[in-house]
Structures are given as structure tokens and as C-alpha cells.
Amino acid sequence: MNVADHLVAFLGGLGVKYVFGYPGSPLVPLLAAMERQSAVQWVLMRHENSAALAASAQARLTGRTSVCIATSGPGALNFVCGVIDAHMDRVPMLALTGLVSTASLGHWEFQDVNQTRLFGALLDRSAECVHPDQFLALLRNYVGHAQQNQQTVHLGLPSNILTAEIDARTSAFHLDPQRLPAPLQLMPPPDPALDVVAREIEQYEQPVIVLGRRARGAGPAIEELAARLGAPIITSLDGKGIVDESHPNVLGVLGIFGFPAVEATTQMLQRADLILAFGVDTLKPFLTDTADLQRRRLIQCELDPALLTPEYNRVHALLGPLDAIAKGLRDRITPRTDRPAIAALVHEREDFLDSMHLGRQPDDHDLAHPMTFLLQINHHLDERTIITLDTGAHTVWAAQFLQLTKRQRVLVSSRLGTMGFSLPAAIAAQLTEPDHKVIAICGDGGFQMVVGELATAVQYRLPIVVIVFNNGVLQNVAVQQSASYGTTMQNPDFVALARAYGADGAVVDAGTDVDAVMRAALAPRETPFLIELRCSPDVMVPISKWEHLRERLSS
């Protein structure tokens, strides 16, 4: 068999079902190899960045290695943002790129880019395979590294290497996908370690529990631990949906720029003397003040030692399955009967919602209010719903007012904050979980960066729902200006655009029956459904920092 055939067979043995990519001449042998089998399917995205974002989202969803492919030259360059998005969020992804033939490498010929320098400056592992005898060892080492360390790796494949013949049966580097390194699976901490940490926690007056995406599956145990401690639970954005957001101890998501959206969160963090963290990537907003100085003690719970923060001092660390850690601490904590902080938070949350209803209606009463819309769609989101969020003002609306009570999955570009993430992510999620409802929530700016992916969703008959917040402005930037400049957009009719691609859709404004639209969107179908939410640019996202900034700019 040739290298291309072996690569595809190996990916199939690894459990890869979909490869997201955009072709080019160097990749023709690889496409031919994929055509000769049926286990691994090619998904033709409309841009290389979207291919990387889709694979990145799939790895987030499954925890398994995903694959994306781009061609040489501009294809590899377009690939960069999505590849780095995956790398920064620590997801296992294999990024493959085509290269000109080995005889043409380094001669500044057509579409010849030094890809190892390009990706090697950003990733821990990047290589170009320049001889067939390298291929099997590189594939073994790089996929093993991605799986064991939950990292993104890059491998460049020249066109003549893909067509080279190899004998995988007699090679010293024969690959069995089932024998590659897997993520480290630690045993639960020993009882004496849990005893020490539980006694430490009980010394603090106001502990706060924070959690991120690696706490997936530990939500019920964390809720029970919080109830015994009388501690609020705050999540990072990528941790949304892990705990039941109707639980009285759940305060919500920490807001953008590291500032909470509700003043109660700010006050609670200021009073906290201990942060108990479960699977959180970015601890800075929970631990520090505006001068970036650590003000609160930290006990960190993580899956393996490589995930422990190198930035902040820890009182203790517990390593192992986070669900087992939370249960072990729960069983050792003496219940606290006095919970004034939790009662105060419940009342403040109710007051906050009331103030939003009364004081933030758009001046144009024909336009929809983002909060009202999101609160109305909550009961359409069951336990088999996957939500993909883009980056923008709409993200914060969704973080605050999507009330996820059934531990629904939420996929988001966490560290890089990539605009245009949600639509490619929704495509990957629907292919991976065809029996789930998949809803992409995006702004008019981010959506138009990847609007061509509607064609992908139509081509593969994916019934995703795409909600576009159309306020005609890049609000995250405009809110920081004294006068709007360079941030106003002239938008198309998004529903007409969706129909031109072969999808369907509906406009939602102040008078729309939202329940009827959601029923239509989620009805059995084989095409995407786009909801254009027409809202006012003057309705501001409720974020403490932005509120104060707007006051300063207007005074």
C-alpha cells in the first residue's frame, strides 16, 4: 500500500469517522485513498480555518483525536487560526497539510512555505515528512503525543511521499492504533490526602467553587459539595452546562474581560478567602485583583499534574478523576447550616432579572430583546441539545440567560476567543451526534466570517439551527469607543441568504411567536434553519466593566 492508503487505514483504526478539510493538488493522492474506503469520510468545508475549527470542536466534544487537512501554501496559512485555537484549548487534534514534492521544497517554488517554521513556532510538535521511511514513526509519535498530552500536532506530507509505497506489515514501526499512548488516567487520591484537604477547606469562612470544562461529569457531586459548604459555584464559559444552573448555589458564568456580569459575583469573589478549582484553565479572574496580585488562597483539583497552574500559589492540589475528588471531599465536609450568602445571591439574581425586564427595553419596540428571546428558548433545550457559542456580545447574553438545567454540552473557543467558531463547530457536532439538537449562537459579525459553511451544512444535510444576533454593530468594540467608528455593518437579509444556500429560516422581532419559530426550527428536517434575531445596537450587554466604561465615555 502507499502512504496515503496507510494513513487513511490508520485513522479508521483510530476511530476517526470524519476528516474536515479543503483540497489542493498535493492532496489528490490522499483524496484517492479516501475514495477507496468507507470508514473515514471526507467533509468538504468552505475554508481551511473552518476545517480546523470544526475538528477542534469535535475533539472538545468527544475527547478523542480529531483530524483536519489543508493544502500547501495559502491553505496551510489559512489553517493557522483554527489550529492554534485547538492548541490553546488543549484538545487532541492532528492537523495534516499537503506540501510540494520533496525535490521542490525550499526552492521558493509555487506555494512552497516552510510549514515547520510556521507551525513549529506555535505548536510543541510540527514536522515535514521528507522520506517514506519516516512516515510511520512520525505518525505514531505525533498521534501518540496528541492523545497522551491532549495537544494539537502538525504533520506536513509532500505529494510524492503520499504516493510512495511502504510495507506496513514488515516495518519496524508497524502501527496498532489501539496501542498508542492514551490520556493519563490517575486513580482517585488516597483517603489521607482527602482528609487533609477537607480539614483545610473547613478552616475558611467563605470558600467559592469554580469549575471549567474538565469537570464534565462531576457536576452532581460538585453541587452536593457546594451545598454542604454553603459555597457558591462560579463557572468559566467553557464550563457552562456542567452544573444545573437552577441550583441555588450556582451563580453563573464569569463575564468577559475577566469581570463578572452580575455585581453579586464581584462581591462574592471579593469576600472569598478560598478558591476551590475543578478543571479550570484560566484562574486569574478568580484569584487576582485589578493589579494582577493573588488575593485568595487556592486548592486546585486536576486530572493530571501537567494541568496544574505554574502562575499562582496553591495551598494543596488533588489529582485524579474530578468526580471522585468532589465526592471524597463532600463526604468529609461537615454541613454548614448558616448560608446567608446563598440566600442573598438568590434574591439578587431575582432582582437582577427584574431590573433587566423593566429597565433595558429597546427604544425601537419592533426589535427583539436578547434576554427575552433567550429566556423563551430555554424550555426547548433538552438533555440532548448541544450549543455552540461564537465570540461577541451575544456570547455574554447567552452565558447569562441560557439557563441550562439538564447538563447540556456547550462548545466555545475559550482561550483564543475566535470569531466564526460556532457554525463550523455546529457542523462537527451534528455529524458526531446525529441524534442531538445542535444550536449555533453567533453574532452578525462572526457569522459573516464563515457564512459559506452554510453550504457545507446543506450539502451534508445537517439540521443545525443557527441563531444570528443581528444588531448591525460590532458591539464589543463599539462599546469601548466614545463615538462609533469602523464598527457599523450593513447586513444582508440573513434569512434570504440562508434560503439561497438551500436552508430555511425565520426572522424574530418583538412581535414574533418565539415558541412557534423554535418548533419549526427543531422539527425533523434535513436542512439547516437560520433564525435572524433583530435587536437594537443600543441594548447593552450587562457587564459591570462595560457599564462603568460607558459611563466614563459619556461623561
SS3 for 199-265 is: HHHCCCCCEEEEECHHHCCCHHHHHHHHHHHCCCEEECHHHCCCCCCCCCCEEEECCHHHCCCCHHH
pTM for the full predicted model: 0.93
On whether residue 186 sits in a domain, the answer given is no
Residue with cell 439547516: 528
* Residue that terminates a domain, selected from 179, 206, 225: 179
Report if residue 353 sits inside a domain: no
User: Rounded distance, CA 75 to CA 93, Å?
Assistant: 17
Q: Is residue 420 part of a domain?
A: yes
Per-residue pLDDT at 543: 60
8 and 135 belong to one structural domain: yes
DSSP state of 362: -
The dihedral built from the CA positions of residue 95, 100, 105 and 111, taken in this order, carries a sign that is negative
Cell of 295: 488575593
Cα separation, 9 vs 34, in Å, equals 9
- Phi and psi, residue 212, nearest 5°: -125, -170
Give 27's DSSP letter: G
Long-range contacts of 5-9 (CB under 8 A, 24+ apart): 5/33, 5/36, 6/135, 6/136, 6/166, 6/168, 7/33, 7/135, 7/139, 7/157, 7/162, 8/33, 8/34, 8/36, 8/37, 8/40, 9/37
Domain of 310 in residue numbering reads as 191-341
Q: Rounded mean pLDDT of the chain?
A: 89
Q: Three-class SS of residue 41?
A: strand
309 and 442 co-located in one domain: no
pLDDT at 312: 94
| Helix spans in 292-392 (H) | 322-330, 340-359, 370-377
Residue 480 has pLDDT above 60, yes or no: yes
Q: What is the pLDDT at residue 34?
A: 97
Average pLDDT over residues 524-548: 81
In a shared domain, residues 314 and 367 = no
> Residue 300 maps to which CATH number?
3.40.50.1220
Q: Is the pLDDT of residue 104 over 80?
A: no
Compute the radius of gyration of the chain from its Cα atoms.
24
Kindly tell me if the per-residue pLDDT of 346 is higher than 90. Answer: no
Same domain as 211, residue 158: no
- The average pLDDT across 31-40 equals 97
> Is residue 230 located within the same domain as residue 303?
yes
Confidence of residue 552 (pLDDT cuts 50, 70, 90): very low
Q: What is the CATH number of the domain that holds 492?
A: 3.40.50.970
Q: Grid coordinates representing 264?
A: 453579586
Least confident residue range of 47-51, 166-170, 452-456: 166-170
pLDDT tens readout for residues 408-428: 999 999 989 899 999 999 999
Task: Write the CB contacts of 448 (distance below 8 Å, at least 6 apart in sequence).
Answer: 489, 491
